[in-house]
Amino acid sequence: MLVEPGNPFPSSVELVLKAHAPLIDTRRASVIALEAAVSAMAPATRAAITADLKCFLAWCAQQRPAVQAVPASPETLVHYLRWLSAGSQVRAPAKPATLARRIASIARIHRVLGFGESEPLPTQAGMVRDTLKGIRRQRPEKQRQAAPLRFGQSMADGQAAPDGVTVQALLATCGRGIQDLRDAALISLAYDAGLRVSELVACQVADLTRVGDGSGRLHIARSKTDQTGEGTLAWISPDTMARLLAWQAAAGILEGPVFRRIHVLTGRPDAAGQQTVRNYVGDRPLTRQGVVAILRRRAIAAIELGHVQLEPGRKEDVIRSLSAHSFRVGLTQDLFAAGEDGAGIALALRWSSPGTALHYARELAVGSNAVARVLGKMRAADLEPG
What tens digit of pLDDT does each residue of 131-146 get?
Answer: 999 999 987 665 567 7
Looking from the CA of 135 toward its CB, the CA atoms found within 13 Å total 23
Write down the pLDDT at residue 185: 98
Express as a percent the part of the chain with pLDDT over 70.
86
Write down the pLDDT at residue 371: 54
Write down the pLDDT at residue 89: 81
Q: In what order do the strands lie in the sheet with 208-210?
A: 208-210, 216-220, 232-236
Out of 72-76, 100-104, 325-329, 369-373, least confident range = 369-373
- C-alpha dihedral (346, 361, 154, 146), degrees to nearest 10: -100
The ranges assigned to domains in the chain are 12-138, 167-366
Residue 283 has pLDDT above 60, yes or no: yes
H or E element: which one contains 283? strand 275-285
Mean pLDDT of the 164-169 span: 94
pLDDT tens string 252-279: 999 999 999 999 887 777 777 777 778 8
Mean pLDDT of the 150-177 span: 80
Cβ(274)–Cβ(247) below 8 Å: no
Mean pLDDT of the 87-100 span: 89
Write down the pLDDT at residue 31: 86
* More confident site: 330 or 89: 330
Out of 161-170, 229-238, 305-314, 369-378, least confident range = 369-378
Write down the pLDDT at residue 83: 96
Give the pLDDT band (50/70/90) at residue 215.
very high
Give the pLDDT band (50/70/90) at residue 3.
low
Q: How far is CA 96 from CA 82, 100, 132, in A?
A: 11, 6, 7
pLDDT tens string 108-132: 999 999 998 888 999 999 999 999 9
What's the fold here for domain 167-366? Answer: hpI Integrase; Chain A (1.10.443)
User: CA 322, CA 328: separation in Å to the nearest integer?
Assistant: 11
Q: For domain 12-138, give the CATH superfamily.
A: Tyrosine recombinase, N-terminal domain (1.10.150.130)
User: CA 178, CA 248: separation in Å to the nearest integer?
Assistant: 10
Residue 317 has pLDDT above 60, yes or no: yes
| Mean pLDDT taken over the chain | 87
Write down the pLDDT at residue 234: 95
Give the pLDDT band (50/70/90) at residue 382.
low
User: CA 187, CA 168: separation in Å to the nearest integer?
Assistant: 9
Length of the chain: 386
Out of 46-50, 175-179, 348-352, least confident range = 348-352
Given this chain, do its domains 12-138 and 167-366 carry the same CATH topology? no
Express as a percent the part of the chain with pLDDT over 90.
57
Cβ(279)–Cβ(263) below 8 Å: yes
User: CA 345, CA 363: separation in Å to the nearest integer?
Assistant: 16
Write down the pLDDT at residue 231: 81
pLDDT tens string 220-241: 987 766 655 678 899 999 999 9
Give the pLDDT band (50/70/90) at residue 157.
very low
User: CA 342, CA 51: separation in Å to the nearest integer?
Assistant: 34
Q: How far is CA 35 from CA 14, 46, 102, in A?
A: 8, 12, 21
- Backbone phi, psi, residue 260, to 5°: -130, 160
User: CA 386, CA 382: separation in Å to the nearest integer?
Assistant: 9
Q: How far is CA 98 from CA 52, 73, 84, in A?
A: 9, 20, 9
Maximum average pLDDT range among 22-31, 51-60, 366-375: 51-60
Q: How far is CA 297 from CA 102, 170, 186, 196, 319, in A?
A: 34, 9, 13, 19, 9
Residue 16 has pLDDT above 50, yes or no: yes
User: CA 83, CA 62: separation in Å to the nearest integer?
Assistant: 12
Cβ(194)–Cβ(357) below 8 Å: no
Mean pLDDT of the 43-71 span: 93
Cβ(81)–Cβ(100) below 8 Å: no
Mean pLDDT of the 205-216 span: 96
- Adjacent-strand bridge partners of 220: 232
* More confident site: 103 or 277: 103
Helix (H/G/I), strand (E/B), else coil: 341: coil
